[in-house]
Structure 1
Amino acid sequence: MALPDAFQHLALPLISAPMFLVSGPELVIEACKAGVIGTFPALNQRSSEGFEEWLQTIRSALDEFEASTGRKAAPFGVNLIVHQSNPRLQADLALCAKYQVPLIITSLGAVAELVDAVHDYGGVVFHDVINVRHAKKAASAGVDGLIAVCAGAGGHAGTLSPFALVGEIRQFFDKTVILSGCLSSGQDIATAQMLGADLAYMGTRFINTRESQAADEYKDMIVDAAAGDIVYTPEISGVPANFLRPSLVAAGLDPDNLAPKKDIDFGKELQAPKEGAKAWKTIWSAGQGVANIHDVPTVAELVQRLQDEYQAAGERFSRLSQRYGVAAGEGIAEGAAL
């Protein structure tokens, strides 16, 4: 297992995942100030000019934080959609190079030329995958990390168990592995590492922070939801993703009888009975870990809570490993004596 040098000083082995229409500069800045990697999708800004303004804002805020506190902020990252439906890819990549974005997260396409371009300015590339075939293709493109997007993750998710996907990736990939899917607590972060991941990838939990751009109604729906309220379907964006059932119903859709999607359009051409209903904007995504989310803290409060839970989980595991280690040792010794 390995972490890039820039990620060695984190307060927690955690990435606040990039979430469409949810992650903005305020969430990214506060995550980085708290010591975890903050990220956002470039397409959360409607133009490359607006994207550049966000990069300037984040860079300026983090530089000011470091100068005023003497503490180093965690790195930040940008999610780029590597797909023909994204005409801004090259322009946004050039801006990432201009502002030396430490981490690029690529989705829907692993391209060696993009990886080389990021490496040229000193950045690293993590790519999200839902199966081993995609993981091997991304590894061959030279990415620095693989994000195993497992069953139950918010947004565009896979169906594999983390026990299966992380274990199989580790058989051929010795760089950074990141685990995504239903992570909501510090104990979940510790569990991700026990499974063999280097970093945890947490999205839905950060929707319910004061600094996220999610509507209050969205946050309330997450507080009220359970795992059974998550609908996994490709019929909203053309790519299988998890959505909150109540938001589908509110849009006038039948979650159990959605019209088939022919193309990947990320929900742009969604036909919903209710006027104004739009994928991601009013039809909201979340992961199956929603039942473990009960409030809307600040990012700083959440990260402190996660640190406390992570520490408690480590101490609990240490006690258990000592107990079972001693028991196993005694059993072996008694068996040998017999």
Structure 2
Amino acid sequence: IRDNRDPNFPWLGALVGSAVIGFWYWCTDQFIVQRVLSGKNEKEARRGTIFGAYLKLLPVFLFLIPGMIAFALHTNSLANGGEGFLPMLANGNVNSDAAFPTLVAKLLPAGIKGLIVCGILAALMSSLASLFNSSAALFTIDFYQRYKPNTDPKKLVRIGQAATVVIVALGVLWIPVMRSVGDVLYAYLQDVQSVLAPGIAAAFLMGILWKRASAQGGMWGLIAGLVIGVTRLCAKIYYSNTAIMPGDQNWFKYLFYDVNWLFFCGWMLVFCLLVVVVVSYCTKAPDPEKIRGLVLGTSTPEQRMATRQSWNAWDVINTVIILGITAAFYIYFW
């Protein structure tokens, strides 16, 4: 645990910011949601999610512990007068992203190296395939088909393939931006996700928990999150690559660059929630029939009964086990 004044991971910021990013990724990202929606019913979807939660515990051993081993080997090498176990970046910092591949390259025999590389490539291909499928489906179904509903299915497939090619090209063009934001890939991903997540999380949370939330409120909450997020990202890129003089301090730089990214994520969520609430009160309330069963407190007795019958003691026990293991991890590494 770190002090709240820590520039990178203040404990309160980590608690709030991680929750916002986690809600956005695990509960609203099409990349994840499409898997849940493939379930035959609530029971299958819930148990698939529980199984996924067990798998999600493994990265503690796949990422955290190997990183600690690499750090210890690097520190010992420097203490003994060596060059260090990990490679260095051009700016003199340790290349943290190279920890796992360096462990594989220097410590494992040839045959095991091949298995590890094949496993990583298989996981990468699976993740990219899911990402491209989600992106193509969202563009084709939610945008193109919406405005051209009578399009031939074969043409929709070609449109999806073209969208995938464009997404790949944009991803390649984005690499220089990634390099300009930071040296550590994980830190970059979390930083970018922290400005994407609040607007989406606010819209979904209010849409699920508040019957008065309107479509216009959700839309303007998303727009507010997008505008603030892009402004923060642009400020990050600009100030990270510009020499800053002592007299260059101003409110814009403080708000969109100096404020810790985790605290910024939390305050951004609060602002987007307020936007959703204000706009919803200024616009027409949604039709109760359209939101029946979709918002907290609008389910029919039949829907509540069906949901209750979809889980039993097995689901409760495994959920408690997962939460217990997660709590144990936090307590141990605290």
Smaller-chain TM-score bracket:
under 0.3
Higher strand share: 1
Q: Which has the higher contact order (CA 8 A, sep 6+)?
A: 2
Give me the TM-score of the superposition, normalised by structure 1: 0.26
Tell which structure's C-alpha radius of gyration is larger: 2
TM-score under structure 2 length normalisation:
0.26
Higher helix share: 2
